[in-house]
Amino acid sequence: MSMHLYGYMPSGKVFDNDRNIKKSHVIRRVLSEEKKYLPLLILSFLLAVSTVTFTLLLPIRIGNAIDMICERDFSSVFYRCLIHCAILALLAGISQYLMNLINNHVVYNSVLHIREAAFLRLQKFPLSYIDSHAGGDLLSRLTSDAEQFADGLLMGFTQLFTGVITIAGTLIFMFSMNVAITLIVVVVTPLSIFVARFISKHTYDMFRVQSAQRGEQTALADEMLSNAKVVKAYGQEEKVLRDFDRINDELQKSSLKALFFSSLTNPSTRFVNNIVYALVACIGAVAVYTESSVLFGSLSVGILTAFLSYANQYMKPFNDITSVITELQNAIACAARVFEVIDDETFENETDAPLEMPVVSGDVELDHIDFSYIKGQDLIRDLNVCVKNGMKVAIVGPTGCGKTTLINLLMRFYDPDAGKILIDQTDIASYTLNDSRRLFGMVLQDTWLFDGTVRENILFGKPDATEEEMIEAAKLSHAHSFIRRLKDGYDTQIGEDGEMLSQGQRQLLCITRLMLNKPPMLILDEATSSIDTRTEIRIQQAFRTLMENKTAFIVAHRLSTIRDADLILVMKGGTIIEQGTHESLMKQNGFYAELYRLA
């Protein structure tokens, strides 16, 4: 799309993110998305319960075995106990594996569908939406945000479930074994949560500073490296490097802070954990030798061992949950960004109860059109044009006069605020969007090709064309000769955005696409600006053949095109100030005549 457009647009708008208000809403939204997986999620939960149960029973059985060792009881009971242990380990392993598989399935499936839904949504946005949002922002919503959402969700399902159940299960088991010691564990452990909270709260700000600086650095590097040639031509490498280093040094400081403080979480919680461990060991040992005291109840060595292993296990989920919560918060923020796209209510204005498209002869009439990109800032006021079937219409005027806007309206990329566009006396708005767009073949200033072969790109508008038709079209547009010389001819991969081709070659391919498609009407926006003049002569001959008996709108800078036009629309400041043929306009001796004489 021509850059003129952006002059009227608040460019690079970023969505508002009022996190606090939206967080619960987003969680609800995510849950509603996962609803269809409810049976699987319940199964996953049950498997988590069984995993935890087996995992918690195992230390008790081992404790029993140890008690038997202490009592030197090596009867068959001892061996049966060991077999129990082995079975418990196997069961825990199997149910954990199954749970992981289910979680994988749920998460990757939902992200698959979310991405698909977001893409579908993207295709239905009005052009105004896409033009006014930064492309990189939409892109990262569909890719990296969706990705991080998946990662967070997977971690959440896998570790949050088991984490919570482990804590609950451990408490139940511990209480059933010894109330007093359990109480001590329960009282001391919140300390670890408190420490983890304290650290994460403080590191959050550090991470924010870090990512802001990282963003700043990436933006600078992006800008300077993509324009490295200009930087070098102006000998500014040292200055640019200095700018880079300034941010780099800041980033070093903030990264060190963030990295160091965040890495304190594990040692700190481990420290609290060790204290709990020491207390359990001490009190447990006392409880064992006092046999049965009022204060500590009774305990065997084996059960003390189980207790110690619980004390270890009991802390681990707290650590996990803290990190899972950070992940989840990130995942929710990402989900919010993806769902903002999916749930957006702005749709392209599709026609209700559309008429069937008849065979069109090609009369086009713009009837009292008003248009503005931004409400209140009128760009086009009361535009009236009448074009008869087969006419060649040249649109001329200074930069920013609204030429591109006219194309936006004809293609129904934007809707007029008032007035109608009539084709063969029928309002274009009564047909479907696709039907009305099929009426026009369009070559824009910025060529667009997709990552595929030359053939795929030419066949873009008419996938069922035969080989002969394709080559015929390429010959007509004079692309055939250069295509033949490419490495694999028509099957050459042209790379992302046609990077393997020159600008002129890209444009030739876009024209070939049109030659093959043979639309009833044409819109050419400076279509030939990058093709050398001699090729252009040939192309224009081909265009003339193509345009025979067809209505064509041409935004052209070339005098030859303008002079041959059946109708010239001279635009200035959004309105058509003069219209007529070259001769009549020259006679009129107005703005057009002035433009022409100056040229």
Partner 1 sequence: MRDLLKYLKDYKKECVFAPLFKALEAGFELIVPLVIAHMIDDGIPADDGKLIVRCGLLLIVLGFVGFASAVIAQYFAAKAAVGFSTKLRHDLFERSLRFSFSKIDEIGTSTLLTRLTSDVSSVQAGVNMVLRLFLRSPYIVLGATIMAFFIDLKSALIFVVLIVVLFLIVFFLAYSNIGLLEKAQQKLDAVTASVRENLSGTRVIRAFCRQEERRQDFAGKNRELFLAQKKAGVRSALLNPITYVIINLFIVRLVRIGAVQVGNGVLTAGQVIALYNYMSQILIELIKFANLLITVNKALSGGRRISAVLAMQDPDETGLTAGTEKTDTNDEKEAQAPAISFEHVSMKYHETADEVLSDIDFQIKMGETLGIIGGTGAGKSTLAHLIPGFYPVTKGRVLVNGSDVREQDQKELTSLVGIAMQKPVLFSGTIADNLRLGNPGAEEEELLQAVRLSCCEEVLKEHGGLNAEVLQGGKNFSGGQRQRLCIARALVKNPSILILDDSFSALDYVTDRKLREHLRELKDITVIMISQRTVSIQDCDHILVLDDGRMAGFGTHEELLENCNVYRQIYHSQGRDKEGEGGRS
Interface of this chain with partner 1, residues 17 to 56, rule: CB under 8 A? none
Q: Which of 31, 120, 187, 355 binds partner 1 (CB under 8 A)?
A: 120
Strands (E), 89-128: none
- Judged by CB under 8 A, the stretch of 198-206, 363-371, 471-479, 532-540 that binds partner 1 is 532-540
Q: Which residues contact 445 (CB under 8 A, 6 or more apart)?
A: 1, 2, 525, 526, 527, 529
Q: How far, in Å, CA of 247 to CA of 588, rounded?
A: 61
Q: Considering the complex, what minimum distance in angstroms separates the CB of residue 293 from partner 1?
A: 12
Looking at residue 422, its amino acid is L
How far apart CA 153 and CA 146 sit, in angstroms, is 10
For residue 487, state whether it binds partner 1 (rule: CB under 8 A). no
**Ramachandran angles phi, psi of 261, nearest 5°:** -65, -35
Shortest Å distance, C-beta 500 to partner 1: 12
Task: Please report whether residue 121 would count as binding partner 1 according to CB under 8 A.
Answer: no
The answer to whether 589 contacts partner 1 (rule: CB under 8 A) is no
Least Cβ distance, residue 460 to partner 1 (angstroms): 6
Name residues contacting partner 1, limited to 269-288 (CB under 8 A): 270-271, 274-275, 277-279, 281-282, 285-286, 288
3-class DSSP assignment, residue 388 = coil
208-247 positions binding partner 1, by CB under 8 A: 214, 217-219, 221-241, 244-245
Which residues 135-174 are close enough to bind partner 1 by CB under 8 A? 135, 138-139, 142-143, 147, 150, 154
- Helix 533-547 / helix 467-476 crossing angle, nearest 10 deg: 120
Segment near partner 1 (CB under 8 A), from 170-178, 186-194, 380-388, 438-446?
438-446
Q: Based on the number of CB atoms within 10 Å of its own CB, is 583 exposed (0-12), middle (13-18) or buried (19 or more)?
A: exposed
Phi, psi of 13 (to 5 degrees): -65, 140
Shortest spacing between CB 588 and partner 1, in angstroms:
16
Quick note: the x/- pattern for partner 1 over 337-376, rule CB under 8 A, is ----------------------------------------
Residue 576, φ and ψ in degrees, nearest 5: -90, 115
> Is residue 204 within 8 Å of 261, Cβ to Cβ?
no
What's the Cα-to-Cα distance from 282 to each of 275, 285, 296, 308, 356, rounded to whole Å? Answer: 10, 5, 11, 11, 87
Chain positions 285 to 304 lying near partner 1, rule: CB under 8 A, are: 285-286, 288-289, 301, 304
Q: How far is the CB of 135 from partner 1 (least distance, A)?
A: 5
Q: Which residues pair with 272 in a beta bridge?
A: none
In this chain, which of 481, 559, 584, 589 binds partner 1, going by CB under 8 A?
A: 559
Question: With binding defined as CB under 8 A, does residue 307 bind partner 1?
Answer: no
Tokens of 416: 């007029």
Distance, CA of 582 to CA of 564 (rounded, Å): 8
Nearer to partner 1, 130 or 164 (CB): 130
Binding mask 312-341 for partner 1 (x = CB under 8 A): x-----------------------------
Longest Cα–Cα distance of the chain, Å, equals: 121
Q: Which of 167, 433, 547, 585 binds partner 1 (CB under 8 A)?
A: 433
**Residue 314 CB, nearest approach to partner 1 (Å):** 14
Between 25 and 232, name the residue whose CB sits nearer to partner 1.
232
226 versus 545: smaller Cβ distance to partner 1: 226
The alpha carbon of residue 502 and the mean position of all alpha carbons in its chain are separated, in whole angstroms, by: 29
CB burial class (10 A; 0-12, 13-18, 19+) of residue 249? exposed
Q: Does 101 sit near partner 1 (CB under 8 A)? A: yes
Contact 122, 60 (CB under 8 A): no
Contact (Cβ atoms closer than 8 angstroms) between residue 426 and residue 599 = no
Judged by CB under 8 A, which stretch of 338-346, 386-394, 422-430, 559-567 contacts partner 1? 559-567
- The nearer residue to partner 1, 18 or 356, going by C-beta atoms, is 356
User: If binding is defined by CB under 8 A, does position 204 make contact with partner 1?
Assistant: no
Report in angstroms the alpha-carbon separations of 70 from 65, 148, 290.
Answer: 9, 51, 17
Which is closer to partner 1, CB of 135 or CB of 489? 135
Best CA proximity match to 316, nearest among 96, 181, 167 = 167
Looking at beta carbons only, is 19 or 208 nearer to partner 1? 208
Q: Which residues pair with 385 in a beta bridge?
A: 366
Binding to partner 1, residues 392-421 (CB under 8 A): 397-400, 411, 413
Residue 402's CB is within 10 A of a number of other CB atoms, namely 23
Q: Is 384 in the site for partner 1 (CB under 8 A)?
A: no
Ramachandran class of 353: left when φ > 0, alpha when ψ lies in -120 to 50, beta otherwise: left
Q: Which of 379, 313, 348 is nearest to 57 (CA)?
A: 313
Work out which of 193, 308, 422, 500 binds partner 1, going by CB under 8 A.
308
CB of 418 to partner 1, least distance (A): 23
Q: Would you count residue 105 as binding partner 1 (CB under 8 A)?
A: yes
In the bound state with partner 1, the residue whose beta carbon lies nearer, of 343 and 499, is 499
Identify the bridge partners of residue 380 per DSSP, sorted by sequence position: 371
The answer to the question of residue 428 lying near partner 1 (CB under 8 A) is no
The residue from 492, 530, 581, 588 that contacts partner 1 (CB under 8 A) is 530
Nearer to partner 1, 32 or 252 (CB): 252
Total binding residues toward partner 1, as defined by CB under 8 A: 161
Tally of CB atoms within 10 A around 539: 22
488 binds partner 1 (CB under 8 A): no
Exactly one of 30, 47, 60, 66 binds partner 1 (CB under 8 A); that residue is 66
Q: Which two tokens stand for residue 31?
A: 């849950």
Q: Is 493 in the site for partner 1 (CB under 8 A)?
A: no
The helix-helix angle for 179-188 and 161-177 (nearest 10°) equals 140
* List of residues 6+ apart from 351 with CB closer than 8 A: 429, 430, 431, 432, 433
Shortest distance, position 2 Cβ to partner 1, whole Å: 8
Q: Which of 395, 515, 531, 576 is the binder for partner 1 (CB under 8 A)?
A: 531
Residue 60 binds partner 1 (CB under 8 A): no
Among 25, 108, 179, 216, binds partner 1 (CB under 8 A): 108
